[in-house]
A and B are shown apart, each in its own frame.
Chain A
Amino acid sequence: MTRFSGALVGTILGLSLPAFALAQDPPQQPPQAPPPPVVREVHFNGAHDISQQALQRVARVRVGEPLPVAVDRIDDLADRLRRHYRDEGYSFAVVHAAFDSTSAALTFDVDEGVIDGVEFTGVGDRLKRTFAEDFALRAGDTFNRARAKQALDVLLQPTRGAVRPSHGSLAGAEDTQDSDDVHPRRGPFDLVDRGGQRILVVSLYEPAGRFRMLPDLGDREDWFSSVDGFVPSLGFGAAVFDHEEFNHSYVAGHFSYKFASERVGYALGFERPFFRQQKLYVGGELYDLTASDDQWQLSSLEASLAAIGPRQSYRDYYRRRGFQANAQYRPHPHVELLGLWRSEREEPLPVTSDFSLWNSDDPFRVNRPAVDGHLNALVVGATLDGTGFERESLDNTYRRHQLGTFYGQTLDYPRSRSDPSAVWRVDWTTEISTPGLDSDFDFTRSIVSARYRRPLSLHQDFGVRAMGGWSTGELPTQRLFSVGGVGSVHGYDFKEQTGTSLALLNLEYALGWRDGFKVLGFFDTGRASTNAEWLKGVGFGFGLSDFRVEFGYRTDAIPSSLQVVLRLSKTF
């Protein structure tokens, strides 16, 4: 074909092209290689983790068929298997192949990467010993990257980030300087030859801590409110790792500037746990914050958007500045007992902002004035959590322990859509503030809140929240109980009732997709005083993920009491 094409080109161009190479004598054929021998036997010595059938497939070798490569290229077959082992995670596997021409037997000697010992580098001697005892991989085991990584993850999980796999230069290199690397490193794992022993060296490192600085979008103070206007803020969290007991200290800070009231807000605190099993947390915080007892009714994002958008205020604010010291004891992974001493000045805050995107002709709702005074209070309580606290982040633990709200925190759904298990939490707090504690206030207030959420099926969720509160003495206005309106009893005005006790029940049913469209039905009842009438609300809604439109009615005035509420978060 090539010869023909060359001649044709020469003819077309009218040139007397010498057909040089094309017209030369045909090339000499190389001497015919002898056909590969037929394989009569295949042996795999030392192969366990990968079956011999699988290895035979990979090598493309079959008894009774010719050897797939020339005899002098037999190492190619070993290479195929070696690559396969590496691909399957056996990073240190070695394969040798041999073919016995006399018996036509093909033999593979496989070393899957059996180790003679495990050593940890980059951590202290005590941790080295502990890790060596607890690590799943031991002498005599075959190294498999996925298996080893999983075992290492499990091993390091209790350290909560204080010990991490090292992927850089070999940590603790002095330990291995007299040894020879048997194989190139695979992540934190290295196989070294030490006196004929193949030792798996696991390289770790101990970071001193970690630091994060982020804008506080309502974590401590609402980013827009009627009393402060726009409140940009910055927060940070710093963990100082304890590499012995993994009781990491946590330092947190929050700084804000309130444009309308022209004040600075701050909070600076720390917390440290003690003991390995039944932990005792001790911490404290200095602060000057705009606070509200109404955080349980709607989220900070909703409160801020309602204020800056349609000029609606769904919180009563007051200023609290002082310090507190907290201690939480965790006798069980699902139980925490708390004791907290709070010494602060509480002051009323006037409405100072006149900005909103809409309704700028209307005034903001008057911020209910707090009673001015110095509060010394002892708070005791407990939290029971169905999920437990063990995997809670340091930041969340710190925030929860500072007790920003006495009414408990919103309950999250189970992480997995198909998770049928219920999530629940019960919070109890009793705040005692009396002149005997050198306080300007004289009251005792207790709150118990219980939240429960359970998927009834893949597309049905049921949730319930029950709250009870009672008090003695003279509650200051900033501690009064309220029910009615958004996040409380549908169909009623915000804080329709205010009093010295609380009883509230919310039931909610959702049909649809948790992270998608859903239809909601709900029923609420509550009152804020033992002799007040029960408020009862009922309604339905539509939701798209956490965004929802709710149509609520008072049960005694349907449909005239229709109240439409836009929400960006769950009711509880």
Chain B
Amino acid sequence: MSVGVIDRVVDHARRLAPDECCGVLIGNAEDILDAAPAKNIAERPTVRFLIDPKDHLAALRDARRRGLDVVGFYHSHPRSAAIPSDTDLAEATYPHHLFLIVGLRDATPDLQLYWFVDGNFLPTPFVTVA
């Protein structure tokens, strides 16, 4: 995952706190190369996120134009750790996609990546590249 992606996601999370931020991860089979912020249209954005389908599909089109794919999604937990909540698990769709969670509970943002497969979030290690 490029450092630029991390910076962008963390900045988005901080700007929208106390609401949860959300967006789309763009890349290929090996790399997460970009993050596209999306509007959170959940009724209670402080505890939920729902990516605006328009932003989701716009990101998908943009990724295709660049020969890339939507490889996952990101959202923030403004007051808790970067661990999938019960709500995340209950409302997750898009199996075989990556889910990046930014936890802002502590001063230093916590980022964890998960692979959503068979209805579970599997922690997935990643390395950052410049």
Residues of A within 8 A of B (CB): 48-54, 88, 136-138, 140-141, 146-147, 150-151, 154, 391, 414-416, 418-421
Contact = CB atoms under 8 A, between A and B. Distances in A.
Given A48-B69, A53-B29, A147-B57, A415 B95 contact: no
Interface of B: 18, 29, 41, 43-44, 46-48, 50, 52-54, 56-57, 60-61, 64, 69-70, 79, 85, 87, 93-96
A73 to B, nearest CB: 27
> Interface majority SS on B: helix, strand, loop or mixed?
loop
Given A49-B70, A50-B96, A137-B57, 6 more contacts: A54-B96, A136-B53, A391-B43, A414-B47, A419-B44, A421-B47
Query: Top 5 closest A-B pairs, CB basis?
Result: A136-B53, A151-B53, A136-B54, A421-B46, A419-B47
A151 B54 CA distance: 8
Contacts of B47: 414, 416, 418-421
A416 B61 contact: no
Mostly helix, strand, loop or mixed at chain A's interface? Answer: loop
A322 B94 CA distance: 58
Contacts of A49: 69-70
Contacts of B69: 48-49, 51
Contacts of A52: 29
Contact of A88 (B43, B44, B56, B95): B95
Contacts of B64: 48
Contacts of B56: 136, 147
Contacts of B57: 136-138, 141, 147, 151
B96 to A, nearest CB: 5
B118 to A, nearest CB: 12
Nearest to A54: B96
A147 to B, nearest CB: 6
B96 A51 contact: yes
Contact of A420 (B41, B60, B79): B79
Contacts of A137: 53, 57
A420 B53 contact: no
Contact of A421 (B44, B93, B96): B44
Given A391-B43, A418-B47, A146 B53 contact: no
B18 A420 contact: yes
Contacts of B18: 420-421
Pick the most buried of B18, B57, B64: most chain A CB atoms within 10 A of its CB: B57
Given A136-B54, A136-B56, A147-B56, A51 B29 contact: yes
A154 B29 contact: no
Contacts of B29: 51-53
16 contacts: A54-B96, A136-B52, A136-B53, A136-B56, A137-B57, A146-B93, A147-B56, A147-B57, A150-B50, A154-B41, A414-B44, A415-B44, A419-B44, A419-B47, A420-B47, A421-B44
A458 to B, nearest CB: 10
